[in-house]
Amino acid sequence: MKTYKFRLSPTSRQKEKLDWTLDTCRVLYNSCLVDRNRHYESTGKGLSRMTQQKILVQDKKNIEYLTNIHSQVLQDVLFRVEKAYNNFFRRVKAKNGKAGYPRFKNYGRYDSITYTQSGFGIDDTGKLSLSKIGHIKLKQHRG
């Protein structure tokens, strides 16, 4: 499998939308950490990603601005939270020094979004098409 990095040239409006999306995903990440902590404190059991996905579906009905972000981008945030907890518990089980409990993401510390299956593509004009963001100019220097 190969990975290529390309330079994007978003308009100022697209840049604002990307920044807003990143910040909203960061807030969702932190909110998921809080939800897991509160659920554990009140029940003594962990909160699963699937349960959080069900909560996210309900939140999208009640919190209108969440509909401005592609659903798979939001779901990837939940996968990241789950991965952080799985890594934490793996380190606790291994007992190799400090386990490193999942931390909150401060502004600027959540710097990527992931479109996993759909919502993205390169159109006929050579622009990157991102769902809910638009067509972004792309410097594609590799075929």
Nearest to 8 by CA among 112, 80, 118: 112
What pLDDT does residue 143 have? 56
Going by DSSP bridges, is the β-strand pair 7-9/120-122 parallel, antiparallel, or unpaired? unpaired
Average pLDDT, consecutive stretches of 10 residues, N- to C-terminus, the chain (143 residues): 86 96 96 95 93 94 93 96 93 84 92 91 90 91 66
Structural tokens at position 38: 């509160």
Residue 30's SS3 state is helix
Structural tokens at position 9: 């040239």
Helix (H) or strand (E) holding 8: strand 7-9
Q: Where are the domains of the chain?
A: 8-115
How many angstroms separate the CA atoms of 118 and 6, rounded?
A: 19
Using alpha carbons only, how large is the chain's radius of gyration in Å? 18
Order across the sheet with 120-122: list the strands.
Answer: 7-9, 134-139, 128-130, 120-122
What pLDDT does residue 110 have? 92
The dihedrals phi and psi of 8, each to the nearest 5 degrees, come to -100, 145
